Amino acid sequence: MEVNEHFCRKLKEHYLLRNSYISLERVDIPFTYYKNAQHDFHSFLNIYMILGEVHAKKRPNGIEKSYNDLLTKKSETITYADSKTISAYNSKVTIYNQYENIKTKVADEDELKFYIDNFSDLKDRIRIEFSKRIIS
């Protein structure tokens, strides 16, 4: 919160934004876990399940969801939210395969190659994002 308040203060000091109203609606904190090459995102399924069980006990009104590839049945994204409706969360944790995530968002193979060339460890990244809605 301290970092975000500092950020908002700096924005308000900018000459173009001096008379603007700035408020935070949510804070996202990303983490990257680098897995070794012999594992894939799905290798950690037991850990995701344990986290899901803990989350369900601590947040009985929450939700634990997995987004899977239909044909391989392998998880690509895991979400734990404190609300049954993911979009209505106050706090949420999302864990995903960063390579697969980018692969689904790029326009073509050339763009994907650009990312792989510039981020050689992309296929070894698991992204963990904590998101908290700020209630003012």
- Read off the pLDDT of residues 113-124 as tens digits, 9 standing for 90 and up: 999 999 999 999
Q: Is residue 7 part of a domain?
A: no
Q: What percent of the chain has pLDDT over 90?
A: 64
Q: Is residue 12 part of a domain?
A: no
Residue range 92-99: mean pLDDT, rounded = 95
CB 68 within 8 Å of CB 75: yes
Q: Is residue 11 part of a domain?
A: no
Residue range 20-40: mean pLDDT, rounded = 87
Q: What contacts 13, CB < 8 A, 6 or more positions away?
A: none
Helix, strand or coil, per DSSP, at residue 7: helix
Given a cut of 90, whether residue 136 has pLDDT beyond it is no
Q: How far apart are CA 65 and CA 52, in angstroms?
A: 9
Q: Is residue 1 part of a domain?
A: no
User: What is the residue range of 125's domain?
Assistant: 27-133
Q: Is residue 88 part of a domain?
A: yes
Q: Is residue 59 part of a domain?
A: yes
Q: Is residue 112 part of a domain?
A: yes
Q: Is residue 2 part of a domain?
A: no
How many domains does the chain contain in total? 1
The rounded mean pLDDT for the chain is: 90
User: Which residues are 129's β-sheet partners?
Assistant: 30, 94
